[in-house]
Amino acid sequence: MTSTWLRRMLLVLSSCAIACSAQAQTGHETLKLDAPKPNLAPTPPMGWNSWNKFACNVSEQLIREQADAMAASGLKAAGYTYLVIDDCWQKSRDADGNIQPDPERFPSGMKALADYVHGKGLKFGLYSDAGSLTCGGRPGSAGHEFQDARQYARWGVDWLKYDWCYTGTRNPEAAYTLMAKALRESGRDIVLSICEWGNSRPGRWAHPVGHLWRTTGDIWDGWKGKKAYSHGLLDIIDMNAELWAESAPNGWNDPDMLEVGNGGMTTAEYESHFSIWAMLAAPLIAGNDLRRMDADTLRILTNAEVIKVDQDPLGRQGRRVWRQGDLEVWVRTLAGGDRAAVLFNRGDKPADIAVSWAQLDLPARLKADVLDLWSSKKTKGATGRHGGTVAPHGVLMFRISPVTP
Ligand code: GLA
């Protein structure tokens, strides 16, 4: 009797083991991405996002004005394309679970706003979250992934920033894969911007899933130091310096949006910020008020030569190759054999820094023309090394083009 009972129990347990593992596999199967990732970001995406300047203070009026300014200021001409509303545009879900924009702030609805942005020759982006709520406490997309993706497609959304608050024990790879699947089945090409702050090292799993992924917590508009979940510029740079191998065309490391023009840093610091972002092959997502840009802000954000480095078609992220105290040399290999170099002075006094041809992986005697990307000064036929005096907290940035005899 006892042995029969025991045998039965063992049978039940072993069949359960088979059934359970089959179920787990089936569960995993549903996460398989059938459609390949659309090639929407062959170079790092460029655009604007509301969060750094406006946080939850978003409205259709603000977004229309930013779209106008993006088109009229020269930013659109410089390559900025995506206009993304971050958190707090959502208010609730209707009885059928459809996500509803805040009716007071977006009275014309998202379709009308997307049409307006498209009418300016720009692309339109929204924000959601893989949890029950967004970081700002609005409804998240957990359990509504396919419904939300279909809604975004109907509205004409081109970009989804997908955040990671209130996700409990969810697995990031599974959660982002599920939304990637929903977006691919929505019938519209939508960039997936992964925002889980680098916790699970997304560069190791996100290539089939998203087009860019945050590598850190939030940036704040200051030179250095941690504030709650946010990091100053130097801290963000240091957290990104070693991730170069994980970035490639159509799947970029995202060191977070730009603070250029938001007022917390000096002009030299903003030039450093923009230059290092270009070396990191970072998405260039402006985060300032485009309606009110001073001359330096516009000059920095539209520096065509620096943007050309960021957008280099080889898509190979740059590296920090030398560091001594406060002084650094960064290099990036560009398509066609050119090199970009940034000489970075984190210190408080001017300093002489040079990049050597060895650091650029070029023969010392090779002649190269050097273009200074901030002063436009040209040097013909340099050999061995090139440098200069770098202002405190500033950079010199060069494009070095080997001379072909
Ligand atoms: C998180 C993200 C930010 C921003 C806010 C919105 O902190 O990392 O970029 O989207 O949420 O609440």
Output the six-digit token pair for 343.
């000489």
SS3 341: strand
Angle at 340 between CA 328 and CA 336, to 5 degrees: 150
Of the candidates 275, 211, 242, 241, the residue with the CA atom closest to the CA atom of residue 43: 211
Note if 221 is an active site residue: no
> Can you tell me the distance from the alpha carbon of 149 to that of 137, in angstroms, rounded to the nearest whole number?
20
Domain residue ranges in the chain:
4-310, 319-402
State whether CATH 2.60.40.1180 applies to domain 319-402.
Answer: yes
Q: Which residues pair with 251 in a beta bridge?
A: 248
Ligand 1 pocket check for 195: Cβ under 6 Å: yes
Are residues 240 and 250 in contact, defined by beta-carbon separation less than 8 angstroms?
no
Residue nearest to atom 9 of ligand 1 (CA): 218
The ligand 1 atom nearest the CA atom of 164: 1
Q: Which residue has the tokens 């560091």?
A: 323
Say how many C-beta atoms besides its own lie within 10 A of residue 102's C-beta.
Answer: 17
pLDDT of 6 higher than 60: no
**Encoded amino acid at 61, one letter:** Q
Annotated catalytic residue: which of 87, 129, 163, 338? Answer: 163
In this predicted model, what pLDDT tens digit does every residue of 307-350 receive, in sequence order?
A: 999 999 999 999 999 999 999 999 999 999 999 999 999 999 99
**Residue 190: C-alpha distances to residues 45, 162, 304, 366 (Å):** 12, 12, 27, 45
In this predicted model, what pLDDT tens digit does every residue of 239-297 receive, in sequence order?
A: 999 999 999 999 999 999 999 999 999 999 999 999 999 999 999 999 999 999 999 99
The ligand 1 atom nearest the CA atom of 257: 9
Rama region for 170: left / alpha / beta (φ>0; ψ in -120 to 50; rest) = beta
**Residue 65: C-alpha distances to residues 74, 151, 296 (Å):** 14, 24, 21
84 CB-near residues (< 8 Å, 6+ apart): 47, 48, 49, 50, 124, 125, 126, 127, 159, 161, 193, 285
Are residues 293 and 260 in contact, defined by beta-carbon separation less than 8 angstroms?
no
User: For the residues 169-177, what does the mean pLDDT come to?
Assistant: 97
Q: Look up the pTM and report it.
A: 0.93
Among 48, 49, 50, 51, which is best to mutate for testing ligand 1, by the most ligand atoms less than 8 A from CB?
Answer: 51
Query: Domain 4-310, what architecture?
Result: Alpha-Beta Barrel (3.20)
